[in-house]
Amino acid sequence: MRNKQSEIIQTLSDRELLLNVFLTQTILVVIAIVIGSFTFESLDDFLNLFQWDYLEIILIGGGTGIGIVALDICLMRILPSSYYDDGGINERIFGSLSYPMILIVSLVVAISEEVLFRGVIQTEIGLIGTSFIFALVHYRYLFNWFLFINIVSLSFVIGLIFQWTDNLLVTIFAHFLIDCLLGFMIRRKKSKPR
């Protein structure tokens, strides 16, 4: 099944791939709105999850994001490349984007996924269940035991910082940094002459 997904991704043009990424994120936002309308008593209850505490956002969110990327870079250097094989999907997505577009895609993904998974789902079912649902949605990681453990752990850590801070802006910033920095690395690697 993973090979089928990878084959489909390879047949898409860069524009089609980007549109699919945005469509997927739009679907996640719609799901968050629908579920959130039943789980929050008012819009204010939901909006209270967004706190402009810059120190918390930068220190906790930024520190977590940079720490996760640093750990990932270390692991990439010592582990076989097969551990990080998602069928070439991340390389296909980020390798074709400009650096400004990587910033935009990373921000859109961070906002939509954190609003749904931390803001709506985690507030209802808790940290552990949310971490596994997050991993299931990242379907391409299900076929590689290391990537599956990696994505569940990542979701758990981000969920912990949400539990600790009760601030979606902290988790959005952490998620954004992780995707953006790893996206930049993929883009840079792809643009290097071989």
Taken as a whole, the chain contains a residue count of 194
φ/ψ of residue 92, rounded to 5: -65, -40
Q: Does the global pTM surpass 0.95?
A: no
Residue 44 pLDDT: 95
Q: Would you place residue 194 in the very low, low, confident or very high pLDDT band (cuts 50, 70, 90)?
A: low
For the chain, the three-class secondary structure string (H helix, E strand, C coil) is CHHHHHHHHHHCCHHHHHHHHHHHHHHHHHHHHHHHHHHCCCHHHHHCCCCCCHHHHHHHHHHHHHHHHHHHHHHHHHCCHHHHCCCCHHHHHHHCCCHHHHHHHHHHHHHHHHHHHHHHHHHHHCHHHHHHHHHHHCHHHCCCHHHHHHHHHHHHHHHHHHHHHCCHHHHHHHHHHHHHHHHHHHHHHHHCCC
CA distance 159 to 164: 9
Report the C-alpha gap between 23 and 62 in whole angstroms: 27
What's the CA gap between 5 and 139, in Å, rounded?
9
Mean pLDDT value across residues 4-32: 86
pLDDT band at 5 (very low <50, low <70, confident <90, very high): low
**pLDDT tens by residue, 87-98:** 888 888 899 899
Does the pLDDT value for residue 27 go beyond 90?
yes
pLDDT digits (tens, 9 = 90+) for 109-120: 999 999 999 999
Do residues 141 and 28 touch, judged by C-beta distance below 8 A?
A: no
Residue with tokens 């690697």: 189
Give me the chain's average pLDDT, please: 92
User: Above 80 in pLDDT, residue 191?
Assistant: no
pLDDT given for residue 11 in this prediction: 80
Please give the pLDDT value at position 12: 80
And the tokens for 156?
A: 């758990």
- Span 55-67, average pLDDT: 98
Average pLDDT over residues 63-74: 97
Q: What are phi and psi of 56, to 5 degrees?
A: -65, -45
Q: What is the pLDDT of residue 1?
A: 54
pLDDT number for residue 142 = 87
112 vs 179: CA distance, rounded Å: 13
Q: pLDDT (tens digit, 9 = 90+) per residue, 102-155?
A: 999 999 999 999 999 999 999 999 999 999 999 999 888 888 999 999 999 999
